[in-house]
């Protein structure tokens, strides 16, 4: 049972205290709010910090930092390569086999699972465990070069 599930006993009937209904009631005049001040006069919202800059405005609006030229790899496990029939596996074969999404520009082979046949794998990156398993099964890995966005100035052309 949780606190919000508690209910009064069946048949119990206690009326709420009516505040501000005369001195004789015990909650007359200021109606239990004390004298003067903000809380006596109106409602104070829950995040109000007494005029101090609120926490929600002290913290930066955007969380963290995303590098503009970040490389996101589509991950393919070694065990998934066994399901493909091709002896040479590249990005096109991985996309056709449904192992990599279209949005994944770069592909990395990871070492989960086992492979039982020789396969030539072409991808942008590979983990050490995956390379060991592929080469242990008689296969090989061919890295695909990753293009860089850096502009190289030709000094000889000037």
pLDDT digits (tens, 9 = 90+) for 120-134: 999 999 999 999 999
What confidence tier does 106 reach under pLDDT thresholds 50, 70, 90?
Answer: very high
- The fold adopted by the segment(s) 73-143 is Ribosomal Protein L15; Chain: K; domain 2 (3.100.10)
Does pTM top 0.75 for this prediction? no
Cβ atoms of residues 76 and 123 within 8 Å: yes
pLDDT band, residue 61 (cuts 50/70/90)? confident
113 contacts 79 by C-beta, under 8 angstroms:
yes
Measured between alpha carbons, how far is 27 from 40 in angstroms, rounded to an integer?
A: 14
pLDDT tens, position by position, 2-14: 999 999 899 998 8
* CA distances for 57 relative to 43, 49, 51, 60, 125, angstroms: 21, 11, 12, 7, 42
* Token pair for 64: 């963290």
Domain ranges within the chain, ordered by starting residue: 73-143
CB atoms within 10 A of CB 106: 15
């Amino acid at each position: 049972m949780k606190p919000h599930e508690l209910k009064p006993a069946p048949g119990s009937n206690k009326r709420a205290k009516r505040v501000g209904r005369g001195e004789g009631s015990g909650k007359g005049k200021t109606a239990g709010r004390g004298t003067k001040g903000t809380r006596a006069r109106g409602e104070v919202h829950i995040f109000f910090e007494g005029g101090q800059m609120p926490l929600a405005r002290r913290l930066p609006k955007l969380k963290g930092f995303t590098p503009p030229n970040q490389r996101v790899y589509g991950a393919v496990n070694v065990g998934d390569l066994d399901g493909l029939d091709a002896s040479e596996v590249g990005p096109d074969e991985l996309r056709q086999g449904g192992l990599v999404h279209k949005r994944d520009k770069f592909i990395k082979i990871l070492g989960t699972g086992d492979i039982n046949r020789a396969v030539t794998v072409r991808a942008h990156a590979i983990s050490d465990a995956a390379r060991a398993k592929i080469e242990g099964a008689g296969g090989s890995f061919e890295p695909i070069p990753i293009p860089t966005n850096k502009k190289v100035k030709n000094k000889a052309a000037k």
